[in-house]
Structure 1
C-alpha cells in the first residue's frame, strides 16, 4: 500500500477502524471520517502521521467534496476509497417500517456510496489508478427472514448493483470497483443488534463463530492493493459459508 492514498468512512469503530489500521500498517496514507469526532481523533492520534481525520456526514455531497479536497491537499490524489459507513436501522417488518427510517437507512448505506464514488473518481482519474471497495453485506446477496429489515436488505443489494455498474463504466480509467459482503462480524453494531455470541445467528454459521473485524480487513486490504489488479465488478463474500446454503 506504499504511495496509496485512501479515504475510509465510518472509521470510528468496528470494521472501519480495523480497515484503517491495516491499510496504514501496510503503508497507506488515510483520511478517517465519521460522525463521531472523538473516536476518529483518538484513532488518528494512535495511527500517527499517515492518518488524518475529519467529521463527515456521508449523505451530504458538499462534505464529500470537502473530504476529497482536504485529502488531496494533505496526501495527494485519492487512489483508494473504502465506503464503509453504514447503519442497521430498526428491525421491523415492511408494513411496520416507518418511511423516515427506510429513507435514512438507504441514505447512509446506499446513497452515500454513490456520493463517495462520484466525489473520488475524478481524483482517481488524475492519478491514473484507483480501487473502490463498497462494503455491502450478506444481506446484499439474500434476504434473511426476521433480520434485518427490508430497508437494510434494499440498501445492501443496491450497493452490489452500483458496484457492478461503476466497475463497467470506469475500468478503462484503471479504476476498479468491488463489493465486500460480510456475514456476522464481531463489531459493536452486531453486538448491539444481537449479543456478544451472535444470538440466534450462530446456528447459521458453519464455522461456529463470529468473524473478527480484522478478518474482513484482510479482504479489504487485498482489494485495495495492486495484488488484486485484475479483479473488478465482483462481490466478495466473507460469511463462513452462510450464503452456500
Structure 2
C-alpha cells in the first residue's frame, strides 16, 4: 500500500528567483525538442519540472510522478530523479509551443533567460549544467530511505529490548549525483519508522522517498514490501 503526505510550509523563505526558475528551465530543458515530437520528451525533464512545481495536475506530471515512484519500488531500487538523462545545458531557446503546456503551467511566471544557466563540463551521473545554486535545492531535498529490515522487541527470558536494522539512505549531491549511505533508526523520520518503542513489537520493511518542491512544500511516499 502506498501512502502520500504533503505538508505546506514556509513559502516566503524562498526568493522570487526560485519561483522564476521553473519557467526558464522549461525553455532550457526542452529547447532541443521539435514541436512534432513533444510527446517524446525525456521523462526526467518532466520529473524535474513537475517536482519543482509541486506535482501540478496534468497528464504529463501524473506520468512523471508515477515513474518517480516506480523507480524506488523494489526491485531494483533506482534514483527517482535521474537528472543526467535530462539535457538541460543546451544553447538554443525553444519555442514555447514545443513545451508541453501543462508542464509550463507549473511555473506560474514567465521567462528566466536560459543563458543564465551556466554550462559546466558534465560527467556521467550528474547534471550538464551547474545546479549548485539555491534554485535547485529541491533536487538535493530528495531522500530515499531503504529499510531492508527493522525490528525492536523483547527477546530472551530477561525481556531485554533488542533493536535490529538494515537501512541505507540515498541522497543527491551538489550536481545531482546520487549516492547511497549507511543509515540508522535515529536519523529516520516518523513516516519511515512510526515507532521505535520496544512495546511496538512490529517489523518494518519498505522503501520511501521524500522531497520538497521549489517553495519548500514537503511530501513523501512509502512503499511497503
Structure with max Cα Rg: 2
Give me the TM-score of the superposition, normalised by structure 2. Answer: 0.28
TM-score normalised by length of structure 1? 0.26
Structure having the larger proportion of residues in helix: 1
Greater fraction strand: 2
